[in-house]
Structure 1
């Protein structure tokens, strides 16, 4: 079998390890008898993507190795016209406890799966290292022409909540406004949204603000208000005093500007394009500013995830309390455990110990300010509204589990969740089912209300 293997990565992750994993993947495919073609080096630039395109011609199967996280730009550029499903290969996280995500490979694979689904294409997942027997067996089956079947997505026939209460929650949503800063980050298809769907389903509106406009607001924050916010934030989170004072001051200006905008336009949530402009042009990461705003009771979303905002607002109206938007980044199948993580924008109350909600530098950018603490333990649900590519409407993902006590596995905000359903099936379904890389974690079980609200809106529920 002629295999076109393309391995993508991003320089903000540990490229040397990503390169080693990609080489091991290529060696295994060759050892198993495949004729492997494709770039021998990591694909990291638009020029690299274009150079990889000719290798697809005449290939019997494409194996796309997410050697580290990258956006889904390569999937959009390379696979829009590909007929057969793409085999997406994700690796386990190799870094020590408490360090940054070295690869974030699974999350990148999740993002690729979503992009392929929006193109009307299909993905299958291989998860693990090249020396694992299960990985070898799956690849042997692929080379024998037996591509894994698409996982069956579970529909929900479980208990529904009070229809009247669900209707009241949906009524309260109508007229709410989501502040939307900037465009979707490039290659982040889950951050794209249809304003008409927000209006039709929920009566939600989006209030846009360009990057230039938000930066102008930040520049207009008076010095005395900036100083006051530094003092207030440092009193609440003393770990700020150990960070670079200029970055903490920039963080304070971002927080103040966002609060002013929320007050002036009566916003109910804020979805922010948090990179690349904030760190590259302003020298500050807005993660902890989003956390401060969340501490005020306003749900916030990084990476300008507007459907994530709609999910959080719906959960709040159903009584979920404070929630958090997180990536799905790691799987330990033998423990039925999935790790959820994001860079550090969690509200203080969601910390496993709010008194230890440490503020630190961003894991990849190495500038301030981002939270660095584990998330709350106990029963947890994961939910996500996203587009339904078959109907053109929306669909709803639900899962549940228990967030267990554990060290902060990855720098930022982590939760180790033992799922109630089969964790491997959940991960396979996320990727092959074309779901976003972000889900919303809630520590109050509002699943009956979610199901009832979805029924009233005629939104299909996929529930593990």
Structure 2
């Protein structure tokens, strides 16, 4: 740090993506810079939002000059490309600043800022060996102000250590049975990892060695060819069945609904023809930009048939789903952590509409509508089931390159209106929610976890022991674990 006799120099970079509410992101980024200036900092950095490769290149020179503090304002969601390009070799920690969701209940996610910070944290910890920190809150909040005041004096927020104390385990025989049921299963992948989505990278040999799961990959163009080859009568039949199951589908543009029916039919045919046990799909950008439809409802339809489906071609997420379901979890859902209600120890878990309708709070009211972000294709729009839940995620172990670790958490999904368009669960955690969210970001965990409504943590812990994977356990408080109901 330079002497505090001079104003501390702070580099502020505000990252965003144009598919979110750019106007709100710009306003909050401006307020963030103003607060740092008010606190006595000399603020430098690009004035506008960093959203393009050219913006990233223009931001780099600001980091070439020594600074007392580097702040990445996650003005909205962004993939992790800027994180690695700007901070991957930075000697000092970057402070990731995420905002609260400002939109009304039932609207789309305006910013998805917290998820963006989560993705940045994973990239920096796992792929760059860095130690990012997190401040979460809006510029006008007193807690945000106190955190930044301390940071300007060299006292950055702490890195939350991964909790190692774990609960009960199933016996070895049960774990062996889970692994035996996975051996030889095939996971179908469509496309490569989306750009900047570091959690979607994977080691196929590691997956095969640990779990016996084989990976079969086709290109996005291959899938599009399968969609084009779907017989018109088959597409009409699938559309009719989907409409009968969820009459709200009738409110969606029929052309887009028929395209979704073609996607569903093509996915189902690929699954059946290749004996696939699960799928991980590169769901954007090509599906909306080239095919004119997001595949969320198709992922939901296939999931309702008992085949786990993961979006954003998240392989480790899909393997986690296979593992949990082999352990007896029932149907699961891949979710982002998008909002924190610290006073209630609640986190809101969400994705944009690919949940199986069987997971709806009321399956008869599992509304289908136009995709909330792209305004193309069909997606579910309904709250997820209430009741006890557990969360899990296989992910890279930054302390042991080439190895995995297993994240576990638990809580209760509580009743509330669907907070965000798509599928949302409000989960009251069994642990301190602020600590959990901070631990996700500073510990380099992915933005995706897998949510289930049956507690299979004892089985998962036993499997992890059997294959030599360390467990990071944000579980129930001491003394309350022990049975197999969450």
Determine which of 114, 121, 126 is the counterpart of 1:106.
114
Determine which of 28, 45, 50 is the counterpart of 1:43.
50
Alignment pair present for 1:250 and 2:259: yes
Gaps of 5+ in 2: 1-7, 475-486
Deviation by residue 1:157-193 (Cα, 9 ceiling, x = unmatched): 3111122111110111111111000010000000111
Alignment of structure 1 residues 186-265 onto 2, 5 Å: 186-265=195-274
Alignment of structure 1 residues 393-404 onto 2, 5 Å: 393-404=403-414
Determine which of 5, 16, 24 is the counterpart of 1:9.
16
Give the structure 1 partner of residue 76 of structure 2.
68
After the TM superposition, which of the residue ranges 387-396 and 294-303 deviates more from structure 2?
387-396
Q: 2:428 aligns to what SS in structure 1?
A: strand
Q: 1:6 aligns to what SS in structure 2?
A: strand
Give the structure 2 partner of residue 367 of structure 1.
376
Shift of 1:404: 0.4
Q: 2:101 aligns to what SS in structure 1?
A: coil
Deviation by residue 1:230-288 (Cα, 9 ceiling, x = unmatched): 11111111111111010000000000000000011100000000001001111111000
Alignment of structure 1 residues 2-401 onto 2, 5 Å: 2-57=9-64, 58-117=66-125, 118-392=127-401, 393-401=403-411
CA distance in 1, matches of 2:25, 2:473: 33
> What is the TM-score normalised by the length of structure 1?
0.99
Give the structure 2 partner of residue 428 of structure 1.
438
CA distance in 2, matches of 1:285, 1:424: 33
CA distance in 1, matches of 2:229, 2:431: 50
Alignment pair present for 1:444 and 2:454: yes
CA distance in 2, matches of 1:197, 1:437: 21
Q: 1:226 aligns to what SS in structure 2?
A: helix
Deviation by residue 1:383-410 (Cα, 9 ceiling, x = unmatched): 0000112112000000000000110000
CA distance in 1, matches of 2:386, 2:158: 35
Deviation by residue 1:180-233 (Cα, 9 ceiling, x = unmatched): 000100000001111111011111111001011000000000111011111111
CA distance in 2, matches of 1:312, 1:80: 31
> What is the TM-score normalised by the length of structure 2?
0.95
Q: 2:333 aligns to what SS in structure 1?
A: strand
Determine which of 410, 415, 420 is the counterpart of 2:425.
415
Give the structure 1 partner of residue 477 of structure 2.
none
Deviation by residue 1:401-458 (Cα, 9 ceiling, x = unmatched): 0000110000000000000000000000000000000000000011111111111111
After the TM superposition, which of the residue ranges 294-303 and 74-83 deviates more from structure 2?
74-83
CA distance in 2, matches of 1:354, 1:163: 37
Q: 1:308 aligns to what SS in structure 2?
A: helix
Q: 1:328 aligns to what SS in structure 2?
A: strand
TM-align CA RMSD = 0.7
CA distance in 2, matches of 1:373, 1:305: 23
Q: 1:311 aligns to what SS in structure 2?
A: helix
Shift of 1:156: 3.0
Determine which of 421, 445, 469 is the counterpart of 1:459.
469
Q: 1:165 aligns to what SS in structure 2?
A: helix
Shift of 1:119: 1.0
CA distance in 2, matches of 1:315, 1:338: 21
Gaps of 5+ in 1: none
Q: 1:198 aligns to what SS in structure 2?
A: helix
After the TM superposition, which of the residue ranges 100-109 and 74-83 deviates more from structure 2?
74-83
Q: 1:252 aligns to what SS in structure 2?
A: helix
Asked if 1 retains the 8 angstrom alpha-carbon contact of 2:68 and 2:152, the reply is: no
Shift of 1:152: 1.5
